[in-house]
Amino acid sequence: MATALIVDDDPDWLTLIEIVLGKEGMGTMKCTEGRGAFDVARMEHPDLIFLDVFMPGVDGFQLLWQLQNTFETKDIPIVMVSSRDTTMDVAWGERLGAFTYISKNASFKELAPLIAEAASAALSSRHGEYHDA
């Protein structure tokens, strides 16, 4: 079973993403701040990370840079999920190595399939064609 680390300081978003990924058959781990998420990613090696930008302490862009520049985590696909979605924010996330960037500024009905699709595409890119063990 694939596992995703969800990093967001908003409990509603943690729950929403966890529900969507659960319906896709994925296990999840959750963190509410960047420093702890970095340690969890290094120790647990999730298959995928969903990462918010606005968080206390280390923000999502800083954490993305750290993850992309650390041997143990550099190959984990990272999906940015943020209300901070200007063209510059999206470009910055992509430049730092995000797999894709999803805007939170949509309804749940619109977001659920985007989250599921991003998870599937990211897993396929990491493992070739991903198959459950």
Query: Token pair of 83, please?
Result: 């209300």
Mean pLDDT within 7-16? 94
HSE, side-chain direction, 13 A CA sphere, residue 104: 19
Whole-model pTM: value is 0.90
What is residue 41's predicted lDDT score, i.e. its pLDDT?
Answer: 97
* pLDDT 10s digits, 31-90: 999 889 999 999 999 999 999 998 888 899 999 999 999 999 999 999 999 998 899 999
Q: What is the mean pLDDT of the chain?
A: 90
Dist CA 54 CA 33 (whole Å): 10
pLDDT reading at 132 higher than 80: no
Among 81, 73, 32, 28, smallest CA distance to 53 is for 81
pLDDT reading at 115 higher than 80: yes
Among 99, 102, 98, 122, smallest CA distance to 112 is for 102
Mean pLDDT within 20-37? 94
Q: Are strands 48-51 and 27-31 parallel, antiparallel or unpaired?
A: unpaired
pLDDT reading at 131 higher than 70: no
Q: How far is CA 28 from CA 8, 95, 117, 119, in A?
A: 13, 26, 16, 12
Dist CA 23 CA 76 (whole Å): 21
